[in-house]
Structure 1
Amino acid sequence: MISKGYTLYKTYTLQYGSVVGIIASRIRFTCVILFTLFLSTISGYAQNKHLTDSLQAMLKTMPEDTNKVEVLRLLFNEYRYSDHEQARIIAQKELSLSLKLKYTLGEASAYRHLGISHAHKGKSVQAIEYYLKAIPLYEKIHESFFVGACFNNIGSVYIDLKEWDKAQKNLFKAINIWKPLSDGPEGTSIALSNLGDIYLEQKQYERALKMYEQSLEIAQQLKLSWLIAGTQTSIGNVYIRQQEYTKATNYLTKALVIAEQNHSNSILTQIYYYRSEISLASNQLQNALDQAFKALAFTKKTKSSRWQVKCYKQLAHIFTLQENYKQGVHFQDLYISLNDSLNNVQQALQIEKLQYNYQLEKKDLINQSLLKDKKLKEEEFDRNKTRRRFILGLLLIFIATTVFYRITYKRQKRMNQTMALQQQEIEAQNEEIRSQNDQISIQREDLTKANAALNKLFSIIAHDLRAPFRSIEGTITLFEEELLDAQEMQIVVQKLGAQVHKSSELLDKLLLWSKSQLEGFQVNPKTFDLAEVIFRSTEILELQANQKKISITTQIEPSLKGYADPDMIETILRNLVSNAIKFCKENDTICIRAILKGSHISVSVHDTGQGIDEEVRKKILTPTSFYSTVGTSGEKGTGLGIHLCLEFLALNNGHLHIESIPGEGSIFTFTFPRERSKIHEASIC
């Protein structure tokens, strides 16, 4: 079967590609030897005496390590076609060294090589056994391609035994393994071609054609010239069987070009033999004779006795038709002699097959005997189990009696232990009470600090609210008594308006804070456009900024949206910008930046004002502190604005961060979610 040749060629190519790399990278040899190895890999010839001698020389000087195993693998491929016995000896050495080194890949490869060697010698049972030993080793190291190769080779052995069902079963296993692999299509193409060989032998020509065509399609996609030529040759053979000689000639002509380019002697043997059959069918006797002689010449190169027999028989038949009886008798004698030898091999193969089937039946009988023994052992186990249960029951009764008598003794002891435990629990409770008292003391101190902060806040509010109203009262008196001229009146009105604005802001903050303390805030989160909120906040504060000649700019990412209560975010932003204006000098700048950071929106207010030192920063971020300082133009505050910002950010899953360098400016940054999150509706009591 040419399919078996396909399998070996694939393995050969893979081994050369990997081992040459190993030798080149790990072993120090002469440049001449390395160059020889490289050339032999490229050329693809299986028999190269110079390469064989070089590999033998390497083995004599190499230490016994995995590199030596790889060289043995190469050497096996040099002998596998020309000297089957020598190939078997090398494979046995490969196995011995791999077992010694515990080199799993080498061990699996050696078993596969021994399977190939025994298959060549017609020892089918041993071949299958070696393949079956290789499979679990390849599976252990996840070499799935070679697992499929072993099943494919087992299928080839069953083809030789004409065990078609078993052959198909193993070939389909190989295909299923190769399908998901990146280098699987080549193996799949080989297995499909082998299936085609099975259907051809069974004279199921349409099914054979289908398999060959699928194999050819894959081979053409992969540009595997040797496989393309072999499959085209097989298709040509099918068409000869169907007496469609024109189609057969077309396929054989295509295959001939490729086979000659690749020096594929075994394929060239078949092509010329099939061309001889076509010429003979067309009664072109001389051309048939020429083609048969060409086929015979290639059989001597490949040492294929099976094809030599075919060629001898074909030549004897053609010479007889030409009435050249002398040559006809000569080739008939050669045919009979070699065919008898092959028949002996075939008979040995049949005996091998019978022995194999006998061994299978013997194994089945052994398995049945083992199953019977297992059943008897299970019955004995059940009887022993019953006895053990009876003994266990008696033991439990004894234990229960012993326990009953010991319970009375231990009861008093347990009561004493219980009383001791109760005493310990009382002491633990006392300790817990002392701990709670300590916590109450800490809470009392916290409340005292909070009350002090509130008292301070109310004193600030009382002063800041009373002062503007006294100014308003004095201004009204001046209006009533008409003590001001028009210019003075305008100045007073402007100052009065500024005071009213500040008082209004203070009242707004006070009302918001009071509401939070009494009723709590209801958070109404939703998705909103951040640019609109920033615009509204800066528009309200534009007049205040213009009075100090402060420019406000914005840097906002396009279409930036967040998920929070937009009114609270606007209040937070307005307070932060108002504070920035308060602590900026004339001609300073304020920049509002908004960017997306992961799952949150980050809004920062940058100013070039007077800045804040570390101690003041800590006081500002303390929830119970209402800290405030005077602005650059004498503006006063209460600390309520930052306090409200902290509360609103907490309700919207946000955070406030302050960075500042005294004399250079400050950056107030707050964050809140970009999308819907676990924003809770909460009340602050």
Structure 2
Amino acid sequence: MKNKPARVILILFLILFSVSLFSQDENYNTQVIKLLEEAESLSAKELSKRDSILKEASIIAEKHCSDSLITSINLKIAKNFKKMSMNDSTVVYYNKALQSLPEDHSQYFLKSEIYQSWSDLKNYLGDPDSTNYYLDLSLMNARISQDSTLIIGILSDMARFYSNNNRNKEAITLLQQVMDYNARHGKTDRIKHLLNQLGVCYFRINAAEAARETFFKGLSIPSDDEGVMNMHYYNNLGQLYSVHFNMQDSAIYFYHKSAEIALRNNNTYSWLVSMLNLGNCYEALEQYKKAEEIYLQVLRSQHISNYFIVKTAVTINLGIIYYHMNQYDQALFYIDEGLMMAREAKYLDFEINALKYKAFLSGYYNDQKGLEDNSELLYKLVDSAYKMNHSTEISELKVQYETEKAEQENESLKNENELNAEIIKRQKSALIQLILSLVVLVPLSVFLFLTIKKQHRIESQLKKAIADLDHQKSLTELRNRELKKANQTKDRLFSVIAHDLKSPFSTITSYLEILDDETFEFSEEQFKALVGELRLNVLNTSQLLENLLEWSLAQRNGISNNPENINLFDETQRVAKTLLPKIEEKQLTVEYLIDKNLTVLCDPQLYRNALLNLFNNAVKFTPREGSISIQAAKSKDFVRVCIMDNGVGIEEEVLPDLFKIDSNYHTNGTENEKGTGLGLAMCKEYVEVMGGKITVESTPGEGSVFCFTIPANSK
């Protein structure tokens, strides 16, 4: 019992010591992260300083931090060496990053990043086989990590690599996958960039129409970069129209747009390239004065010396247009200047072009020896153009940075020794500070943790309540809209009943009163006319009641569709028989252009109802001795039935609302036949229930064409 307080104190001391060590590790992690942030904030001109900071972070991490953090630091150091073109040191740190991988699932993500960076290095060194190999490794590990963002990033790199190595069809396939992913995640800015790459790939495989469609699609997407992306689109469209379509005027417009955006954004290189291409278009159009003006404007730019390739191209092009303008002395001056620049920079294509025109000029000056020498040199250059590779470039890179690599490694060793001494000193003071501060920090941290947790719980409940209210509000608004629409339909129905049903009954009542009037004497002709009018009103009222009942039934229970195979000609004749008295009365000519063996798959009653309404309207609105035509034609899976007349026609502004139940359009027939206002709305419902569509074309004074589609018989 006497030793109990001592044991309690010992346990408390061990707990505090363990916590202090944990906190100290956390302190090292924080220190490393701050160093990484400081390194990332440095500009591209401060690569050496960035290297020192990253080395310091690496030393701390290797002694005190997790494997994943060590791997990340080694990867950053490798990337920094790559920016400094210290390729051997880059490889060393890529290997260090691989060796420090953690033994958990996160290793696949990190390994994928390392191989992706390694592929960048191999691509920079001009080794396409190794680039492809490391990209495949990177993609394999990314898929194991199941990180979709990483996978899409690697697919984007692969697409760019395929495009740059003339594997454009493979690049197109990958770009379409990447665009689908970005479309699903609403990344429109990224899609705009990808569409430009896709258009370039189509351009390279001579799919000009696909390239044009892709470029214009990309242009239609808004961006937040002050039009900089559009600058590239316009420049690519200029090349497309100039090279593939040979439409130089259109190309000039696009190059002008690209140059304007480049000038507005102080993008000197893009402005120079757009102006160079603009001059090329005028040269192709043989507008040499215009081309000369633009080329001279480019040469006089204060920044042209920074872009030697553009300066070389413009100088040679000036010589060429002066040759075409018969200004041979100036042509020779610029061709010689451009040839010297091309040789200095080893621009083989430019040198070939310049030599060709130098040979032409030798012929003009009757310099036979110059002509022979230039021609022989030209043939040699053309032959060697097919045999060049990247081996010389790679060797030069290795020699160039061998000395710098040794100096950097010596400096790194010196920095490492100094940092080790500083770290030991910091560790001693940090331990004392942590033990003293833990007594206050631990209770305070627990209190803060509980407070924040409670606050998060309250916020979560509040968000859920707000979401429920928003959902209820949306449902209420939807129901209100549906109710409003139902009320409008109901009002329209009551209006039809109040007007169209009341009016014929009033007319019938008036006729019956006349017949009942004993004082009025009728001739036989007057009696027949009165009975005829009475019969017509009864028929119209009957049709109105039938349409109202059908519409009411459809609104309550819906219209049932029972499709079966029917002969279209027979069903059409069946409908025609019901309208035969009206047709004969008005002496109309009806033509049936329907194959007698044509069968369709539809509900026969719905077909007859739809055709009856349309046929009846054609009879009603066609004047005496007019003509009506009913045609049917099969197209793939549907049959299109059309009813055409040469009647009164319908005004264009009425057509969009003609099939709506709430349409206010009413007109009588050519012999004052009444309409119900519901027939066309019902037609539309019949046709849509059968799975078809209904359309109308009409010209006032010339007639109307109503067409609807129904499913064809699959057999």
TM-score range, shorter chain: 0.3 to 0.5
Q: TM-score, normalised by structure 2?
A: 0.36
Higher-Rg member (1/2): 1
